[in-house]
Amino acid sequence: MKWTNKGHEYDEIAAHLIDKKTRYYIWGAGTFGIAFCEEFCKEFSFTAFVDRNIRKQGTEVCGLPVLSPSDFQKQWNGEIVIVSTGMTRSAYEQLESFGLVRHKDFYHIDEISSIYMLYKYGKVYLSDLTIPITQYCTLKCKYCNSFIPKIKNPINFDIQQIRDELEAYFRWTDTVNILGLVGGDAMSHPRFNEILRWIGDTYYPERARHLEIYSNAVITPTPQTLELFRKYNVFYRFTDYGGSSGKQNIDQITAILRENGIRYDHVKFTDWFDSGYPQTTNGITSEDGLRRFFDMCDRKSCHTIYGSKLLFCGQCMSADWIDYCRLADSDYFDLSIYDETRKREFVEYNLGFNQKGYMEYCRMCNGSLNVNTHKIIPGEQLG
């Protein structure tokens, strides 16, 4: 979205959201919807979850019924809907087909939490942040969205640099719901345990509500690593490429995680989205077209730190790593100098506003969920 009233984009919406009489539905009874319900149960009055998964319908989550979309449509009576599913485009389209209006009747989960906490309590509460700690990976995926195999001289980021970046971020941010460590494969950093221990001791759980690790299930966690996972209640997320990589230790790692009571998410991909690399354009030429593309692409919610810069999109950072597409000044929010008067502007940036309403890399990338129709085999390895 393009800034038109910087620092005041959400003034009217905030007045609507802070109304104590308002009740809410949560669209999506998954990880993020449940975490939101648990976090804000004392702030909001919830009516029910809504989920398109037939297996969830008719059950209870957090003591609330899970409705089908059709049942929701029958009983909706002006309550606000919080969209917490990753399939935002189809959720928005279905809600609009029911006659609901975005930014009046329904909001994305990130908008609700951040606007509410900022305008009611003056606190910066953000949904997520990933911080890359290494450019090394245990796999060489042909279509790696982080372009790791194309980095000529990969590095493990210095621990002091990681500390400096997080300290700059938390000068601006009171609380982030999910703080994730990424790579490459985050666990390939030789000082991974030391990094996790410092982050856990410094920020969990007051400043970083949940810690997550993103891995490809090649490196088996050591007993020392598992001890840290338990101490900080780490959520371990790993992807399963269906044997195409030939190196993943899915069964072994899953068994170890279960034995040690570690929370994990095993996501099996049947396909990946092709970013289009290398291409000079994705065919979108108009400013309005680029803004629509950016608004719908889910990558803009993948906030990441790159030096003293906060970015919407981790792939934009990776494109800069390999000199494929250099960052423009309008692509990032500069964290290096804290300014109390820019707090609302900072939150607006996190919710998708910037000077152009898109990023320079949007001209070249095919995007991800909600906008990309180019599918490829996941985890295919380079020779």
Segment 320-366, tens digit of pLDDT: 999 999 999 999 999 999 999 999 999 999 999 999 999 999 999 99
Give the other-Cβ count within 10 Å of 79's Cβ.
Answer: 18
- What's residue 297's pLDDT? 87
Same-domain pairing of 73 and 138: no
User: If 0-12 CB within 10 Å is exposed, 13-18 middle and 19+ buried, where does residue 260 land?
Assistant: middle
Asked if residue 20 has pLDDT above 70, the reply is no
CATH of the domain at 291: 3.20.20.70
129 and 115 fall within a common domain? no
The residue out of 64, 90, 119 marking a domain boundary is: 119
- Tell me if 173 is assigned to some domain: yes
CB 95 within 8 A of CB 81: yes
pLDDT in tens, 281-324: 999 999 999 999 998 887 766 899 998 999 989 999 999 999 99
Taking a C-beta distance cutoff of 8 angstroms, is the pair 325, 360 a contact? yes
Q: What is the mean pLDDT of residues 40-61?
A: 95
- Is position 3 within any domain? no
Q: Is 50 helix (H, G, I), strand (E, B) or coil?
A: strand
Q: Are residues 163 and 176 in the same domain?
A: yes
Q: What is the DSSP letter of 309?
A: E
Judge if 323 and 350 occupy the same domain: yes
Q: Please indicate, yes or no, whether residues 241 and 305 belong to a single structural domain of this protein.
A: yes
- Domain final residue pick, 84, 119, 154: 119
- pLDDT value at 29 more than 70: yes
d(CA 378, CA 119): 42
155 with 246, same domain: the answer is: yes
Give domain status of residue 230, yes or no.
Answer: yes
| Mean pLDDT for the stretch of residues 236-260 | 87
Higher pLDDT, 269 or 58: 58
- The reply to whether 103 and 163 lie within a common domain is no
Residue 333 near residue 173, CB atoms below 8 Å? no
User: Quick check: 219 pLDDT over 90?
Assistant: yes
- The reply to whether 105 falls in a domain is yes
Q: Which helix (H) or strand (E) holds 264?
A: strand 263-268
| Contact predicate 84/61, CB 8 Å | no
Averaged over 50-73, what is the pLDDT? 97
Regarding whether 154 and 287 lie in a shared domain, the answer is yes
Q: How confident is the model at residue 228 (pLDDT cuts 50, 70, 90)?
A: very high
- CA–CA distance, 289 with 297 (Å, rounded to integer): 12
pLDDT (0 to 100) of residue 17: 84
pTM of the predicted structure, to 2 decimals = 0.91
Q: What is the pLDDT of residue 62?
A: 96
239 contact partners, CB below 8 Å, separation of at least 6: 216, 217, 267, 268, 269, 378, 379
pLDDT at 112 over 80: yes
**Residue 134 placed within a domain:** yes
What distance in Å separates the CA atoms of residue 65 and residue 359, rounded to the nearest whole number? 40
256, two tokens: 């170890």
Q: What is the DSSP letter of 149?
A: G
Mean pLDDT of the chain: 93
Show the tokens assigned to 328: 């423009």
Is residue 221 in some structural domain?
A: yes
The three-state secondary structure class of 256 is helix
State whether 259 and 139 are in the same domain: yes
Please tell me the total count of domains within the chain.
Answer: 2
Per-residue confidence (pLDDT) for residue 239, from 0 to 100: 85
Instruction: Please report, for the domain that includes residue 108, its CATH number.
Output: 3.40.50.720
Of all residues in the chain, what percent carry a pLDDT higher than 70?
Answer: 98
Q: Residue 382 falls within a domain, yes or no?
A: no
4 domain-assigned? no
Domain extent for 289: 124-376
3-state secondary structure of 293: helix
Task: Say how far apart CA 75 and CA 121 lie, in whole Å.
Answer: 32
Which SS3 state, helix, strand or coil, does residue 172 take?
helix
CA 79 vs CA 23, 26, 75, 185, 276: distances in Å: 5, 10, 10, 42, 41
For 266, the 3-state DSSP assignment is strand
178 shares its domain with 94: no
* 220 lies in the same domain as 369: yes
Amino acid at 277: Y
> Which one of 63, 94, 119 terminates a domain?
119
Which is more confidently placed, 17 or 352? 352
Task: Mean pLDDT check: name the lowest of 13-22, 132-141, 300-309, 318-327.
Answer: 13-22
219 and 333 share a domain? yes
